[in-house]
Chain A
């Protein structure tokens, strides 16, 4: 079976160890995504369905595949040397996006307009931080004292601070998840992890009660705790999202037939709330399929982490796994009412260029680590 993938039958060639599931699962998710995006953005006029979003997302997926191949081909060991430069480039772009060069969408100064497309540097920064942290933490073979931990924390805190200034709480939380996952596997002492967690909880409690967050962001966090508080605003969104998902039932309303999806009661339905389309139109069966594809992917990434030949590779895979898991959990969880509402795209499914490129690039790196486990 595996032999067919490698025409030369050379067990030492990297391609021999390519994990097909790491490619298949994202493809499955991307197809579901394209279908859902078309359903929610085609409009209500059967004579003139719009394909604008569909076409653009198709372009993003094709570009994504190219990026995935590129990320898989170049030996990931070379990334060690590149990591500081990538990180510096990311920081520069995060600074630049706060300047008038960047533009503001939905209250976050997070975008560059590049021709007809928007570029979101914080998405790329996630990978840059994963690579640099993996490179740094792997130098100590699991012996992470407080000093090394603090340096690693600073590496993560600089981009997080810049993202907090946009402000983009969703992406900020993704960074928290990445850092915690990598510290855990990278060998941080458990008491440090506990202390960090307590610090994080304290910080969130402080932000909810302080003017750091924009009012609408605080609203979202507090309406999560009490959705009846605000029937027209954030609580309303979450309630409508849940109704959409519940309305799907076991087998769904049928593709293109969702009442909630059609009536525009759920906001941002092609991006952050995309899962409501899957939930309403494809039902529990469709939701389970998406969850299953994610589970398959994460299992294979986790396995790649286990099998990696060095800790650098392991930590790369761990960072990517926590990134994808957290985004999935938050994006689906908020539509299902078990997480607060923040704007995080669902990897491979949500509409968006930066998010799609970064997701495919990540699985490319995982392929890379896995392929080179014997080299």
Chain B
């Protein structure tokens, strides 16, 4: 009975709660709809403030001397007002009619356009009610006039100026500059809290400098406030916040050197393709790809970075189709979008020997109390037999099993004696008091195995094999790496830059820069300043970033440099033929050839050099894939570049539009000049 009573009471309680909810709703609706009706009817008529964003011009990209590499250009875009479409073009027939007339007019003006494409845009739901729907880009000024005269027939159709990227030097430096494209959802999310707010149709840097310096290049968008009534009519124009243009970025790249490096790279590959690979495939060399990197060894500023095959950044200006993009990332087509200077991993081959030599001296192997001194000759009979070897590969040979006779450290580098370095490797394995891995540690001190930190995305780490890495890799992927044990032969391969070693051309150049500048490892830079386009003030100076100071007294450095200096001039130097005509007396070069083997492919050719050898200004590294011997094909590419530098004959790069040649828009940054002088100088320049 009590239960019944209790339940009755509780049901009544529930009823009271429900009643009060109904009463609340009823009261609220009475308030909204009867008591304050007039207020809301007013609000429904003039109620929305719309904020229409105004794009800010993106900063330009300049070369080291202030020459413009990426500029903004205005192109005319035909747009249709989304509001007009919604309000007046209410039936499919009306939309089809406008699309047809517009497509015909555009096609007659020379810009072939399909009516179906226009109509598809008009009906695309991604556009908001106040957007201007773009239907055709890059129309002529004449078309604009033609349309203005017939505005009555084309209500809602407008011609808007839109800024797009312009590349005065065309395809040059494509990998460094990168490209921009419409922001995608994840990028939008990532930058949701960015000061420089992004809208769903905004462009954003996708690669290269455009990506790395997005925050500098992008301007702060402005906006226009509009008051719009419920039917979308603009009732009032509110305040305008002007956009703030993005800053210009001045690069360390020298466009003259860049263009020449690209041309010489292609020329080198073309020469290689005329030769037959008699040691390998027996057919003409493929030579499908290559890299040249030029660094300033004092601070590792990147002066030129050429990667072949390349792409045309202009393809991205009006949007790129999925099929076009597929080709650009297709491995079998050489993945032209890849920047091989930072993404390509190569076995350095003999270009690695100076680092083995450094490690041997640093570990005390080559010293008065070590296994040998820098002057002790070792006999090189053309092959090296691993002591105590029982089974497996026991004999390691020079290229072609060439015997070099007695060689000391200097000569071993000059003639590129593998046997000498096999012997060193064996000492790393066996000499009392020397740890085996001081070889790898030496290489790592030069930056191998770690990203250099150049401000470009997608840089590879590379790999210097060690016993623990090999074991780890075997444990992780036993199928792909069936062997986890470390053999003496692995140390031998490491010592001459073969085996599983993978390094980027930029890492090689940066490591040679350490020898060139006497022991400082820098993180390579690609930009030197951010410049406010309004005031021309330098707002940010990018200083060289020191990563490591290596112990490198003359006693360690000199024999190695001496060995490298012999490479282009010594009778037995591996690059002597390539440098036959080079003015080495005025401009001495220190360099090293490398030829790395890849199973099933022709040899990869490498050459790394710096000059002038005694006070180096340039480090140049060239890698040619599947192209033969380093001394025969890679060294000539580097030689051509050094020759032009030595004779001060690097040709001036010619932009498509000669206006860009006449005057640098911004003067080179130099720390001892104050910006005011720069401005005056610019003013003078502009008067000319």
Chain A residues near B (Cβ < 8 Å): 44-48, 141-143, 181, 184-185, 187, 231, 240, 242-250, 259-260, 262-265, 279, 283-284, 287-288, 291, 294-295, 298, 302, 305-306, 311, 314, 318, 321-322, 325, 329, 332-333, 336-338
> Are A298 and B18 neighbours in the complex by a CB distance under 8 Å?
yes
Q: Would you list which residues of chain B between 6 and 44 have a CB under 8 Å from chain A?
A: 6-8, 10-11, 13-15, 18, 21-22, 24-26, 28-30, 32-34, 36-37, 39-41, 43-44
Residues of A within 8 A of B11 (CB): 185, 302, 305-306, 314, 318
A sample of 30 inter-chain contacts (CB < 8 A) reads A44-B90, A47-B90, A47-B91, A141-B3, A142-B3, A184-B10, A242-B32, A243-B43, A243-B47, A246-B36, A247-B37, A247-B41, A259-B44, A259-B230, A260-B230, A262-B231, A263-B129, A263-B232, A287-B29, A287-B33, A305-B11, A306-B8, A314-B7, A318-B14, A329-B21, A332-B29, A333-B24, A336-B28, A337-B28, A338-B24
* Closest-CB distance, B540 to chain A (whole angstroms): 33
Residues of B within 8 A of A284 (CB): 29-30, 33-34
Nearest Cβ in chain A — how far from B452, in angstroms?
A: 37
Shortest distance between the CB of B289 and any CB in chain A (Å): 40
Q: Which 5 A-B pairs have the closest CB atoms?
A: A246-B40, A284-B33, A247-B44, A249-B37, A142-B3
The docked-state distance in angstroms from the alpha carbon of A279 to that of B37 is 12
- The verdict on A250 contacting B33 (CB below 8 Å), with A187-B3, A242-B40, A264-B129 known, is yes
CB of A191, distance to nearest CB on chain B (Å)? 15
Q: Are A187 and B32 in contact (CB under 8 A)?
A: no
Q: Which of B10, B13, B41, B49 contacts A246 (CB 8 A)?
A: B41
Instruction: Indicate if B650 sits at the interface (CB-CB under 8 A).
Output: no
From the candidates B15, B21, B29, B43, name the one contacting A288 in the complex (CB within 8 A). Answer: B29
- Asked if A44 and B231 make an inter-chain contact with CB atoms under 8 angstroms apart, the answer reads no
Cβ of B463 to closest chain A Cβ, rounded Å: 36
Task: Enumerate B43-59 residues with CB–CB distance to A below 8 Å.
Answer: 43-45, 47-49
Known A-B contacts A142-B7, A187-B10, A298-B18; the reply to A263 vs B231 at CB < 8 A is yes
A322→B43 CA distance, assembly (Å): 35
CB–CB B6/A187 < 8 A: yes
Write the nearest CB–CB distance from A301 to chain B, whole angstroms: 10
CA distance A141 to B86 in the complex (A): 62
Q: Count chain B residues whose beta carbon lies closer than 8 angstroms to a beta carbon of A.
A: 40
Query: Given the complex of chains A and B, what is the CA–CA distance between A333 and B22 in angstroms?
Result: 10
**Interfacial chain A residues near B44, Cβ < 8 Å:** 243-244, 246-247, 259-260
Contact between A185 and B7, CB atoms less than 8 A apart: yes
Which chain A positions have C-beta within 8 A of B33?
245-246, 248-250, 279, 283-284, 287
- A329 and B25 contact, Cβ closer than 8 Å, known pairs A250-B34, A260-B44, A314-B7: yes
Interchain CB contact under 8 A, A325 and B230? no
Residues of chain B with a CB closer than 8 A to A291's CB: 22, 25-26, 29
**Which B residue's beta carbon lies closest to that of A248?**
B33
Tell me the minimal C-beta distance from B134 to chain A in angstroms.
22
Besides A250-B37, A283-B33, A291-B25, 4 more A-B contacts (Cβ < 8 Å) are A187-B3, A288-B26, A298-B18, A336-B32
CB proximity of B534 to chain A, nearest CB, Å: 31
Q: Is B39 a contact of A246 with CB atoms below 8 Å?
A: yes
Q: Once the chains bind, are A246 and B129 in contact (CB under 8 Å)?
A: no
* Chain A residue contacts of B45, Cβ below 8 A: 259
Residues of A contacting B48 in the complex (Cβ-Cβ under 8 angstroms): 265
CA A295 to CA B18, docked complex, whole Å: 9
B1 nearest CB across to chain A (Å)? 11
A279 contacts B29, CB within 8 Å?
Answer: yes
In contact, B21 and A325 (Cβ under 8 angstroms): yes
